[in-house]
């Protein structure tokens, strides 16, 4: 049975309240460990430690800071099998997906460490010949990184990497569904020799300490990946401190199969886009739009592939993260049937799920734009399918008709349609005739309720530093020609 403490100012500390949360293994339904629940006092201690350490951390060169990140990568690589096993235990990921996520952690940290010496400012001319303006890129200070449970290691790397290389210090608040993955990475940072206070871990229920953390006066930047509702709550709470916000929220990706698409390719990609991480991904295909000419053929192709999907740790798809999500996903199916949808496959727990939170891959036909399953994020291995007419403008409108705007997918051999969608689809990402996920060098960002700002790519790294302007005047009389009252 695992037990995890808080990590504050370079040490693992026992929670003063003695309170711990329980973590349940989603594949077995059994308690796999317990993790410390931080109090407000411990939230203060973690933030104070980050605040105290930040000046010295900023004073290092970016090359010196990146060397810590390279050492962290080495620590992870030395012990990557145990992180893979932890992802299987905490999230229920099939081994190949767990291995993929560990690769993603390393790739992202490597990508950010390489920004040493490359986060550069500008020198621009002033309002006189003898004036210059230095535009420096400086860290915000203390970064509060709040991470989700679906890619619990990769999401930590995506936030901690750019924050640290930019000269910020970090307080990490992971999902209460995946506390141990975050703790594993924090322990590797300790072994990599990060100075005390640079990286801190404050586990605890978002509903209990979330508002306190996100309204703390010493927090300057909050980066959250989570549900849109959580993002809204964080925006409200953070308004009292006017913290910079990076919000990576929910998705409702349209998956468009046009009449000239390579159907075999589209079906193969849809198997990834829908069932990767059991559909618990913000870039998962959530709305299937199929051209009327290929509707029956494509659905049959997708159905045949879905039938062959094997559930379980050594299979192709794991469980949902907890019982609450399992009920939520099943309710989506029930509601869709009530609204007129027709379940072609799945729509229930598998025959022998054990006590795990497994749910069958599910395809529902006869779905229309107004149904709940096309409006709200399902976040599970369920997709509704809708037949669309031979009108590409109408399909673009259907795709854009969503509160979300993160990822989207288009399959057509017509390059003119690809370019038309590139300009007219209002989503942060458009994958054309290919699978995702987003690359470290791709800017992961969304329109509408999918969040604001973004992460990854040089744009994402720049989100973690602020432009500061320094005005210089080297003339003999800096006030000459200025509108300054005579102070005689
Ligand atoms: N845009 C993107 O890149 C991605 C978006 N997501 C989205 O994340 C969601 C799934 O992740 P999930 O963890 O369930 O999301 P949640 O919003 O439930 O939780 C995300 C994080 O926010 C914390 N939290 C909850 N309430 C508050 C609060 N009031 N103040 C501060 N923090 C709070 C949670 O802590 P606790 O667990 O203790 O409640 C958790 O650490 C999906 O909607 C998915 O679309 C997921 C991955 C990528
Ligand atoms: O989509 C997600 O949930 C993450 O960004 C990983 O791709």
Q: Are 129 and 150 members of one domain? A: yes
Domain co-membership, 151 together with 184? yes
> 134 and 37 in one domain?
yes
Mean pLDDT of 386-404: 98
**Inside any domain, residue 481:** no
Do 272 and 359 sit in the same domain of this protein? yes
Read off the CATH number of the domain in which 403 is found.
3.40.309.10
Catalytic residue selected from 101, 248, 377, 438: 248
Are residue 240 and residue 358 in the same domain, yes or no? no
Ligand 1: residue whose CA is nearest its atom 1: 248
Q: What is the pLDDT of residues 135-151, one digit of tens each?
A: 999 999 999 999 999 99
User: Is the domain of 223 the same as that of 344?
Assistant: no
Q: Is the ipTM of this complex over 0.85?
A: yes
**In this predicted structure, what is the pLDDT of residue 320?**
98
Across residues 180-188, what is the average pLDDT?
A: 98
Does the pLDDT at position 488 exceed 70?
A: no
Report the C-alpha gap between 393 and 415 in whole angstroms.
15
Q: How far is the CA of 249 from the centre of ligand 1 (A)?
A: 8
Q: Which residues pair with 291 in a beta bridge?
A: 388
Average pLDDT of the segment spanning 264-291: 98
**pLDDT (0 to 100) of residue 487:** 67
Residue numbers of the domain that contains 76: 2-249+450-470
Cβ atoms within 10 Å of 357's Cβ, excluding its own: 26
> Does residue 232 sit in the same domain as residue 285?
no
442, part of any domain:
no
Instruction: Answer yes or no: is 163 within a domain.
Output: yes
How many distinct structural domains can be found in the chain? 2
The whole-number average pLDDT for the span 272-298 is: 98
On whether both 44 and 159 belong to a single domain, the answer is yes
User: Ligand 1 in contact with 206 (CB < 6 A)?
Assistant: yes
> What is the model's pLDDT at position 484?
80
Rounded Cα–Cα distance for residues 392 and 378 (Å) = 26
- 137 in contact with ligand 1, CB cutoff 6 A: no
Residues 177 and 118 in one domain: yes
Please state the atom number of ligand 2 nearest to the C-alpha of residue 406. 1
CATH number, position 187: 3.40.605.10
pLDDT tens-digit series, residues 45-101: 999 999 999 999 999 999 999 999 999 999 999 999 999 999 999 999 999 999 999
Contacts of 423 (CB under 8 A, 6+ apart): none
Task: Tabulate helix, strand, coil % of the chain (nearest 5).
Answer: 40, 25, 40
Q: Which ligand is nearest to the CA of 249?
A: 1
Residue 230 and residue 149 share a domain: yes
* Residue 443 within a domain: no
Pocket test for ligand 2, best of 444, 451, 454, 457 (most atoms within 8 A of CB): 444
Residues 375, 330 share a domain:
yes
Question: Does 230 lie in the same domain as 184?
Answer: yes
- 439 occurs within a structural domain: no
Q: Give a yes or no: residue 171 inside a domain.
A: yes
Residue 248 falls in the annotated catalytic set:
yes
């Amino acid at each position: 049975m695992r037990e995890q403490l808080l990590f504050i100012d370079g040490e693992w500390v026992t929670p003063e309240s003695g309170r711990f949360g329980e973590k349940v293994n989603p594949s077995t339904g059994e308690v796999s460990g317990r993790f410390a629940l931080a109090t407000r006092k411990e939230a203060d201690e973690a933030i104070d430690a980050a605040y105290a350490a930040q000046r010295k951390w900023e004073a290092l060169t970016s090359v010196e800071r990146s060397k810590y990140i390279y050492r962290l990568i080495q620590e992870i690589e030395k012990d990557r099998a145990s992180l893979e096993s932890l992802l299987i235990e905490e999230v229920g990921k099939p081994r190949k997906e767990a291995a993929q996520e560990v690769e993603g952690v390393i790739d992202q940290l490597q990508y950010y460490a390489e920004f040493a010496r490359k986060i550069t400012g500008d020198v621009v001319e002033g309002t006189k010949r003898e004036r210059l303006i230095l535009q420096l890129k400086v860290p915000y200070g203390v970064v509060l990184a709040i991470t989700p449970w679906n890619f619990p290691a990769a999401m930590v790397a995506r936030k901690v990497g750019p924050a640290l290389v930019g000269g910020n210090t970090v307080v990490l608040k992971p999902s209460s569904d995946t506390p141990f993955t975050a703790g594993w990475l924090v322990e590797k940072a300790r072994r990599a020799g990060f100075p005390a206070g640079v990286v801190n871990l404050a586990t605890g229920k978002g509903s209990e300490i979330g508002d306190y953390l996100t309204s703390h006066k010493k927090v300057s930047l909050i980066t959250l990946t989570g549900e849109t509702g959580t993002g809204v709550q964080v925006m409200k709470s953070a308004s009292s401190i006017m913290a910079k916000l990076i919000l990576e929220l929910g998705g409702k990706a349209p998956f468009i199969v046009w009449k000239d698409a390579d159907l075999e390719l589209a079906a193969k990609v849809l198997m990834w886009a829908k069932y990767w991480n059991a559909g618990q991904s913000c870039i998962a295909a959530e709305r299937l739009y199929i051209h009327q000419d290929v509707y029956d053929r494509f659905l049959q192709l997708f159905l045949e592939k879905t039938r062959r999907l094997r559930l379980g740790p050594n299979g192709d798809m794991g469980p949902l993260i907890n019982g609450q999500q399992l009920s939520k996903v099943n309710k989506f199916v029930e509601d869709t049937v009530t609204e007129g949808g027709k379940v072609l496959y799945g729509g229930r727990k598998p025959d022998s799920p054990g006590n795990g939170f497994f749910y069958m891959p599910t395809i529902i036909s006869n779905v229309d734009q107004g149904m709940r399953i096309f409006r709200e994020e399902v976040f599970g291995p369920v997709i509704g399918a809708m037949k669309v007419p031979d009108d590409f403008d109408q399909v673009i409108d259907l795709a854009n008709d969503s509160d979300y705007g993160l990822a989207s997918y288009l399959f057509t051999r017509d390059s003119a349609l690809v370019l038309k969608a590139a300009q007219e689809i209002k989503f942060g990402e458009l994958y054309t005739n290919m699978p995702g996920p987003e690359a470290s060098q791709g800017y992961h960002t969304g329109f509408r309720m999918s969040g604001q700002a973004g992460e990854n790519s040089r744009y994402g790294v720049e989100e973690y530093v602020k432009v500061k302007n320094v005005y210089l005047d080297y003339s003999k009389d800096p006030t000459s020609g200025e509108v300054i009252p005579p102070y005689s």
